[in-house]
Amino acid sequence: MSLKNYEFWFVVGSQFLYGNEVLETVARRAVEMTDKLNASGNLPCKIVYKVTAKTNSEITEIIRDANHDPKCAGIITWCHTFSPSKMWINGLANLQKAWCHFATQYNREIPNNEIDMDFMNLNQAAHGDREHGFIGARLRAARKIIAGYWQDAETQQRLGNWMRAAAGAEFSKSLRVMRFGDNMREVAVTEGDKVEVQIKLGWQVNTWPVGKLAEVMNAVTDEEIDSLMKEYESLYDFATDKIDSIRYQAREEIAIKKMLDSEGCCAFSNTFQDLYGMRQLPGLATQHLLASGYGFGAEGDWKVGAMTAIIKFMSEGRTGGTAFMEDYTYHLVPGQEYSLGAHMLEVCPSVAASRPRIEVHHLGIGDKEDPARLVFEGHEGNAVVVSLVDMGGRLRLICQDIHCVKPIMPMPNLPVARVMWQAMPDLKTGLECWITAGGAHHSVLSYDVNYELVKDWARIMDIEFVHIDKNTTVESLEHDLFLSDLAWNLRR
């Protein structure tokens, strides 16, 4: 499902106190705001004005409908006037979709000459917001609050980002993940409680035999491979004459895609330790699937595979790129402290600075034939790395702000795609924070989401969120994690 297929319902709070004329004005303005917001170009999904609510039953009914409508990814509430909040309790207590309290008002300015008590009674969002805010706090609701003028681009962009998070939550609730093989032997961080994950995030994580994939691969036709080879040629430079190796990757890609699509899966994992019946570890195959929007995690890491799919979904229409990533090695020269991220093959070309090259090299791990892979440099820009870990009884989502740079050296003998970045607040502190929080070596690296969007998603899913940014210190993080651990254990 595309992000664009989701919609958000605009529910405007009021009451009968002000008379019909005011209510008609409120409803008319709500329609005008909906139309202008939809036309702004800053929202990824449509807003649908639903009701100017005056009663408990109107609110309860619209929230019941929102819960049941698969197109509705959330409600946006706004109080043009004062809307007594006890009449919201029955509805909000049962809300199963994301909620944004939009703290805005119709007029930007206080009109100096015009303002009188009639104006005040009609335009009292400041009054209504506080009553509405209290009931959200009292219900301990996982709501998003966005304050700002509704015609400001920045306000609209924040609303748009929240919509992406809310739609990402709906996507998550129906996400299916296909596992080929188990997790890499003895590795801890790629493990996780799949039942807990399905309860909290909705993911259906199941396994299919590698032997079945090999069967599907063997049934792929030359015509199918020819067609995919043309696509490769249009997107990538062929920097090898080992065409058979590329064709073999095409065969793998076609077969994996067939199996994913037949089961409705948007993410997959595999492992170099279980490639029975396959001649190469999928490299180019996985990279091209990632570029098409599928999530992937190596070494059986289904958690990062699913997170990659979700962040790609939430980033629809953006062009910075989102990749499965792994922290590999450091450059520790004072003043030039960088992390070098890569993988043995499977970095997504959506983050490439220029047209990727297809190369074929020996792969020491996995004991298979030399696989074709895409080689490129990641582009410069601000990004985040995101890691989901299982803390035992709860999930923790860690998000670190990073700044990617053009790699400071060409590394001509490195046969894989690479991204170089500065972690926030600096390499040493950022690394100590990441390790303190238990962040994995695998992550999702994205230029297309910011921490606020990732945090909103985590809040909607009701999981722990940890942010490492330019102001984080090890001491403050340790303190936060200590309190967070107590709080989450109380909630179990």
Q: Catalog residues that contact Mn ion under the rule CB under 5 A.
A: 298-299, 326
Q: What residues have CB less than 8 Å from 378, skipping those under 6 apart? A: 321, 323, 341, 347, 351, 352, 353, 404, 407, 417, 418, 419, 420, 445
Give the nearer residue to Mn ion in terms of CB position, either 125 or 304: 304
Position 467, amino acid: H
Position 37, amino acid: L
When computed from its CA atoms, the radius of gyration of the chain, rounded to whole angstroms, is 25
**Concatenated DSSP letters of 78-109:** EESS---THHHHHHHTT--SEEEEEE--S-SS
CA 441 from chain centre, in angstroms, equals: 18
Strand locations in 54-160, DSSP E? Answer: 72-79, 98-103, 144-147
Q: How far is the CB of 350 from Mn ion (least distance, A)?
A: 19
Give the nearer residue to Mn ion in terms of CB position, either 99 or 180: 180
Question: By the 8 A CB rule, do 103 and 36 touch?
Answer: no
Q: Which of 328, 314, 257, 245 is nearest to 290 (CA)?
A: 257
Give the nearer residue to Mn ion in terms of CB position, either 326 or 370: 326
Q: How far is the CB of 305 from Mn ion (least distance, A)?
A: 11
Beta bridge partners of 296: 268
CA 465 from chain centre, in angstroms, equals: 13
Give the nearer residue to Mn ion in terms of CB position, either 275 or 298: 298
The CA angle 488-490-492, to the nearest 5 degrees, is 75
Give the nearer residue to Mn ion in terms of CB position, either 249 or 269: 269
Helices 302-314 and 451-461: angle between axes, nearest 10 degrees: 120
Q: How far is the CB of 364 from Mn ion (least distance, A)?
A: 14
Q: How far is the CB of 160 from Mn ion (least distance, A)?
A: 33
| Upper half-sphere CA count for residue 455 (Cβ side, 13 Å) | 13
Q: How far is the CB of 343 from Mn ion (least distance, A)?
A: 6
Give the nearer residue to Mn ion in terms of CB position, either 299 or 377: 299
Q: How far is the CB of 326 from Mn ion (least distance, A)?
A: 5
Question: By the 8 A CB rule, do 256 and 177 touch?
Answer: no
Give the nearer residue to Mn ion in terms of CB position, either 260 or 342: 342
Give the nearer residue to Mn ion in terms of CB position, either 103 or 210: 210
CA distances to 117, 185, 274, 336 from 327, in Å: 61, 19, 23, 17
Q: How far is the CB of 356 from Mn ion (least distance, A)?
A: 20
Q: How far is the CB of 442 from Mn ion (least distance, A)?
A: 6
d(CA 384, CA 135) in angstroms, rounded, equals: 33
Q: How far is the CB of 441 from Mn ion (least distance, A)?
A: 6
Give the nearer residue to Mn ion in terms of CB position, either 3 or 419: 419
Q: Which of 491, 255, 273 is nearest to 368 (CA)?
A: 273
Give the nearer residue to Mn ion in terms of CB position, either 253 or 326: 326
Give the nearer residue to Mn ion in terms of CB position, either 298 or 463: 298
Residues 85/91/97/101 CA torsion (nearest 10 deg): -10
Angular region, 257: left φ>0, alpha ψ -120 to 50, beta rest: alpha
Q: How far is the CB of 298 from Mn ion (least distance, A)?
A: 5
Helices 302-314 and 153-173: angle between axes, nearest 10 degrees: 140
Dihedrals φ, ψ of 375, to 5°? -120, 130
Q: How far is the CB of 297 from Mn ion (least distance, A)?
A: 8
